[in-house]
Chain A
């Protein structure tokens, strides 16, 4: 199965942009790139996903490299509530079924 690699931790100042990188060099052509985040003592929650093109939603933007071997989650203005563990995930398709492969995540610390 394809894997994702992320830095263990990152820091950002409040109200500044944050770029969270992810490497997925063994990604397959049908694998979707997902990002989830997990707040303390909660289950992960969806942030954004994409296949080939860059994506924007109200929470974040996702920039996908042209060769799809890496991606970057962009939080445009970090707030203290954005402090969480961010997971870069591949949704893979095997024999017509779908499963999600999580990386180990990046712990984002936001400084006031």
Chain B
């Protein structure tokens, strides 16, 4: 299995509080992605990174920010959590420059905003 961990795995928080989710990889892959998964929507891309300090928005980026200060860590921050951000969050990594297109996914973080 690819070395991807997410922390925390479960979190319950209150509306209006800041929340940071961490994705950590040991594969030295250049690309890292944050997705959210909700019933009826599949996985939707929030933000992604194509290198240290290089990030870009996905299709559902409003209310989220990210940071990548080193290759192995990609942080997702909800500055002021809302109930609509209750979801399962997945991190993924890939290294397309090698010609291999596969994404590897972490185990997910279940976030509940009350």
Give the interface of A toward B (CB within 8 A): 1, 32, 34, 36, 42-46, 49, 87, 91, 97-105
Question: Given the known A-B contacts A43-B90, A46-B102, are A101 and B107 also in contact in the complex, defined by CB atoms under 8 Å?
Answer: no
A105, B43: Cα distance in complex, Å: 9
Q: Which of B29-72 contact A (CB under 8 A)?
A: 31, 33, 35, 40-45, 48, 50, 56, 58-59
Smallest CB separation, A54 vs chain B (Å): 16
Nearest-neighbor residue (CB-CB) of B4 within chain A: A43
Contact B42 A43, beta carbon cutoff 8 Å: no
Within 8 Å CB of B48, what residues of A?
Answer: 97, 99
Contact A43 B96, beta carbon cutoff 8 Å: no
Smallest CB separation, B3 vs chain A (Å): 13
Q: Is the interface of A mostly helix, strand, loop or mixed?
A: strand
Within 8 Å CB of B58, what residues of A?
Answer: 99
Contact A87 B50, beta carbon cutoff 8 Å: no
Contact B105 A45, beta carbon cutoff 8 Å: yes
Question: Given the known A-B contacts A98-B96, A99-B48, are A44 and B43 also in contact in the complex, defined by CB atoms under 8 Å?
Answer: yes
Question: Given the known A-B contacts A1-B59, A43-B90, A43-B92, are A100 and B45 also in contact in the complex, defined by CB atoms under 8 Å?
Answer: yes
Contacts A44-B105, A97-B50, A99-B56 aside, 13 further interface pairs with beta carbons under 8 A come to A1-B59, A36-B103, A43-B107, A44-B103, A49-B101, A97-B48, A98-B50, A100-B33, A100-B103, A101-B45, A102-B44, A102-B45, A104-B40
A98, B29: Cα distance in complex, Å: 13
Question: Given the known A-B contacts A97-B50, A100-B33, A101-B45, are A43 and B105 also in contact in the complex, defined by CB atoms under 8 Å?
Answer: yes
Nearest-neighbor residue (CB-CB) of B50 within chain A: A97
Smallest CB separation, A38 vs chain B (Å): 8
Within 8 Å CB of B25, what residues of A?
Answer: none
Smallest CB separation, A97 vs chain B (Å): 5
Q: Which residue in A1, A98, A103 is a CB contact (below 8 Å) of B42?
A: A103
Question: Given the known A-B contacts A43-B90, A104-B42, are A99 and B105 also in contact in the complex, defined by CB atoms under 8 Å?
Answer: no
Encode B1-44 as 1/0 by CB contact (under 8 A) with A.
00000000000000000000000000000010101000011111
Nearest-neighbor residue (CB-CB) of A1 within chain B: B59
A77, B31: Cα distance in complex, Å: 34
